[in-house]
Amino acid sequence: MNNACENMREHLDAYLSRELPEETSREVQRHLESCALCAAELETRARVRAQLRAAVRATPVPIHLESKVKRSVRGRLARPRTGLWAVAAAALVIICVALVHQLRVASNPEEAILRKTSGRLAAVLNVGLRDHLHCAVFRKYSKQPEAAREMAAELGPSFADLVPLVQAKLPGNFRIIQGHRCDAGGRQYTHLIIAGGAGGGKIVSVILTRRQPGESLMGGIHQAGVDRFQVVGFESHDYLAYVISDLDAQQNLQLAADLAPALREYLAAQAG
Amino acid sequence: MFSKLPQTGEFEKVALPHLNELYRTAARLLGDGTKAEDVVQETYLQAWKSFARFEPGTNCRAWLFKILINTIHHYRRGWFNLRRVKESEEILEQTAACAAPAPERIAQEEILRALGRLPPDYRAAVLLADVEEFSYKEIAALLDVPIGTVMSRLSRGRKLLREQLSGLARSYGIGEGGA
């Protein structure tokens, strides 16, 4: 490799990117026609670049990201941005979307939401979501908090002390309003319904159900966003546990992270 | 003239097609898929906020990348709250449960590791030029640096990457230029 080659190699990348001034580009072109070494070097650089491009472009993009972005952008619609008309228009859009949504899922709302999830983990997360939808979302229940005694009776002797355990771990603005045993999709659940959050209008479920053969969350805490719900699932040796709400993902995850250690310990003692 | 009320439909139509490129660039610059998700989400929120000022027909892709790069700067300085995940707990989004890499992916993993080892400024320049195929002039505007700086970052970044990949390239039958 002579000086001319060294000089040319400085330009090879810019040549590949078509960023050289016309005259320099022609000079490089002429050199490449007469120098096999530099032509091979150009080929190498082009191939490495193509491989880099292919590798980066193969990065899998989470399939929920688009809907997450849409949700957060649409969530900003209600903010005053360009005056009262914008607020009014945004409110109208939200009402229309809510109506359309209700109409669309009216035939079988629970199934319509459950169908939006897929995958092995999601199937296990759906076990909890099914009960949340069935009991806390689409079923009419009294929004008046039950007395602790009533809840203890409905939960049965095994889970009577679940209410104080969970209440102690909740932030001050959340309150357990229902505690009961229930059935959904042919399966039994122990279910606490919690109301609160900013404005008091959020509903959170803490749901426990016995693990069935083959069901596993692989030991971790998993979170999925499905429709407007955030589902966190974790497990003990014998139970699956869920924290499901219409809070945002971070709040729901925080709530679940606060509850998980105590619940796991509680469930381990249940099994023993 | 009345200001036009931005429409989410219109915004989504022009902005969402660039989601994948923004995500993979963020993922490579931050080295973390979860952070990249947060940054991309924030990028779209910022873009939506300023969409009323976006002029149809101008380069939407470059506009979004500019916001992405700014958001990443802000992120690195901790200017907005991001989801924090306790390291002791494994948190997976439902789609994160992906299969083990197929054999043909392994080489790509090596290339990405080499890219990840580049200093961040060089990595950004190389990604924007050689993967996203922005012009040097566009990259200068995106990174807010003179074009000479872009050229020197590219030159050093590409050289470092080539050096790291030379072993890999040989294993793929890509020579060092010898006849």
Find chain B residues with C-beta within 8 A of A121's C-beta. 92, 94, 97
Question: For the whole model, what pTM was predicted?
Answer: 0.52
Cβ atoms within 10 A of the Cβ of A88, count? 10
Q: String of b and e for A114-143 (b: at least 16 CB within 10 Å)? A: beebebebbebbbbbbbbbbbbbbeeeeee
How distant is the Cα of A7 from the closest Cα of chain B, in angstroms? 14
Closest alpha carbon within chain A to B161 = A48
What is the reported pLDDT for A245? 92
| Phi, psi values for residue A173, rounded to 5° | -95, 15
Over residues A212-241, mean pLDDT: 83
Query: Would you say residue A102 has pLDDT above 50?
Result: no
Q: What's the DSSP call for residue A140?
A: -
Closest alpha carbon within chain B to A83 = B5
Contact B108 A51 (CB under 8 A): yes
What is the reported pLDDT for A106? 36
What is the reported pLDDT for A132? 84
Q: Which of A13-27, A100-114, A170-184, B146-160 has the lowest mean pLDDT?
A: A100-114
Contact B94 A76 (CB under 8 A): no
pLDDT band with cut points at 50, 70 and 90 for residue A272: low
Closest alpha carbon within chain A to B165 = A48
What is the reported pLDDT for A130? 84
Over residues A6-32, mean pLDDT: 93
Bigger pLDDT: A54 or B96?
Answer: A54
What is the reported pLDDT for B66? 95
Alpha carbons B45 and B11: distance in angstroms, whole number: 11
pLDDT band with cut points at 50, 70 and 90 for residue B137: very high
How distant is the Cα of A150 from the closest Cα of chain B, in angstroms? 35
- Residues B131/A57, Cβ–Cβ less than 8 Å: yes
Over residues A231-239, mean pLDDT: 87
What is the reported pLDDT for A240? 93
Angle at B75 between CA B9 and CA A56, to 5 degrees: 70
Closest alpha carbon within chain B to A221 = B91
Bigger pLDDT: B54 or A166?
Answer: A166
Find chain B residues with C-beta within 8 A of A219's C-beta. 90
Q: Which of A48-62, A111-125, B53-67 has the lowest mean pLDDT?
A: A111-125
Contact B20 A221 (CB under 8 A): no
What is the reported pLDDT for B82? 37
Q: Which of A10-19, A113-122, A186-195, B145-154 has the lowest mean pLDDT?
A: A113-122
How distant is the Cα of B79 from the closest Cα of chain A, in angstroms? 17
Q: String of b and e for A157-169 (b: at least 16 CB within 10 Å)? A: eebbebbebbeee
Q: What percent of chain A has pLDDT over 70?
A: 79
Find chain A residues with C-beta within 8 A of B12's C-beta. 70, 73
Contact B97 A119 (CB under 8 A): yes
Q: Which of A83-92, A108-117, B64-73 has the lowest mean pLDDT?
A: A83-92
Query: Would you say residue A90 has pLDDT above 80?
Result: no
What is the reported pLDDT for A198? 76
How distant is the Cα of B144 from the closest Cα of chain A, in angstroms? 19
Bigger pLDDT: B160 or A91?
Answer: B160
Burial of B129 (0-12, 13-18, 19+ CB in 10 A): buried
- Strands B91-92 and A229-235, by their bridges, are unpaired
Query: Would you say residue B171 has pLDDT above 80?
Result: no
Which of B20, B52, B112 is nearest residue A55 as measured by Cβ atoms? Answer: B112
- Strands A221-226 and A202-210, by their bridges, are unpaired
Query: Would you say residue B65 has pLDDT above 50?
Result: yes
Per-residue pLDDT reduced to its tens digit, B91-113: 333 333 333 333 344 478 889 99
